Amino acid sequence: MLNETIRRRCFICGSGDGEAAFPQAYDVCGLGRVTYALRCCAGCGLVLQDPAISPATMMRQYSMFSNYLAFGGGDPPLSATAGRMLDFLTQAQVRPGRAYDIGASTGSMLWHFRQHGWTVAGCDLSELAVSQARALNQIELDHGDCLETLPRLEGLDLVTLSHVLEHIYEPVAVLAAIWEALAPTGQLMFEVPCLIAPERNPAGLFTMEHVNFFEETSIANLLAISGFERVRAQVTLDHAPYPVITVLARKSARQAAPALRNVHAENLAFLAAFQRVEQSKWDAADARIHAALTPAEPVYVWGAGIHTSMLLERTSLAAYGRILGITDRDAQKHGQRLGEHLVVDPAEALDSGRKIVISSYASEVAIADGLRRQGVAADRLVRLYG
């Protein structure tokens, strides 16, 4: 069945019980209608998608559009995540060796690791991203799933995952494969969104592409059952668009039945608080739409990603304005539909003279600045958050 869902047990404690929360239903560019919800595990408190987007549907999303392709040339910029990871390694006095990055995209983070003396490699599901890593950053990546690539490796000094574990249906299996590929003194480093400080999180936090939602205790539980000992963990509250936690852990002896801490009550409280916060943020965005547009005013929407899918579902934009098209600089999306709306080349929106609603929580400022540099008048740009 197209866009079916699956049921999931908690990968930390095995429980299938817990409260359902945040039911979602919206149209996705090229996929059609998707539905899913969250569950707060009664056994340990982990928040996860359940019922979840099926792996088959998710793979269609990744293969078509979620390629995280690089635009432009020159040396890749140092991301905040890569900077934090390199700082972690320096502070822990970890000497450069062989590093392998899972979900390496175009290799931009590995490029900076190589500048710091590491011998780098990695893998990615996107064939386009792998080709760009080679062409733009001179980095050879394995094309495929890490569960296929890691068993061919051994003696690694470091395995990294930058905003990857939240996408993986079975993190325990992945950490087991990492454990086997690491040298006895090898280390694991990753960064994921962190469920903390509800008011600092954006509307649309629970995107379809994230199937796991972590906080400090759930990460500690995951490491304990996977044979890793935490060296350092740091929460960054002001990371955009949501708080993150960066973790460095060392390979250790596997324990048969490690003690787990249950944060069910704490995470239920977070979900309840964030539900109120999120609704207020969608309401504020809707108020900006009404302030910037007249009823039935023709308008373009900039951005054909999941945030736009949620925006159209949670605000009155489609009913209040008249959407002429949704545009995106990713040519893979041109000619596709997001619900009833056609995704068009940016030139159509830029040349139209019509207002453009910028649909991005994380990149709104950068998009607005870029459009103004292209000659788009400020009064044509509708910003919903900044």
- Give the integer Cα–Cα distance in Å for 26 and 5: 14
Query: Per the domain annotation, does 374 fall within a domain?
Result: no
Q: Is residue 196 part of a domain?
A: yes
pLDDT of residue 69: 54
Determine the pLDDT at residue 126: 87
- Classify residue 134 as exposed, middle or buried by CB count within 10 Å of its CB (0-12, 13-18, 19+): middle
Q: Is 175 a domain residue?
A: yes
In a domain, 118, yes or no: yes
> Is 223 a domain residue?
yes
Q: Residue 164, Cα to own-chain centre: how many angstroms?
A: 7
pLDDT value of position 37? 98
> What are φ and ψ of residue 2, in 5° steps?
-65, 130
Q: Is 84 among the domain residues? A: yes
Query: Residue 133 falls within a domain, yes or no?
Result: yes
Phi-psi region of 74 (alpha: psi -120 to 50; beta: other; left: phi over 0): left
For residue 128, the surrounding DSSP H or E stretch is helix 127-137
Token couple for 246: 């960066």
Provide the number of structural domains found in the chain.
1
CATH number at residue 194: 3.40.50.150
Give 10-residue mean pLDDT values along the chain (386 residues).
88 98 97 97 98 94 65 81 97 97 96 98 92 95 96 98 98 98 98 98 97 98 98 96 98 93 98 98 98 98 97 98 96 95 98 97 94 96 94
Residue 265: Cβ-neighbour burial (10 angstroms; 0-12, 13-18, 19+) = exposed
* 134 in any annotated domain: yes
Domain residues for the domain of 239 are: 80-261
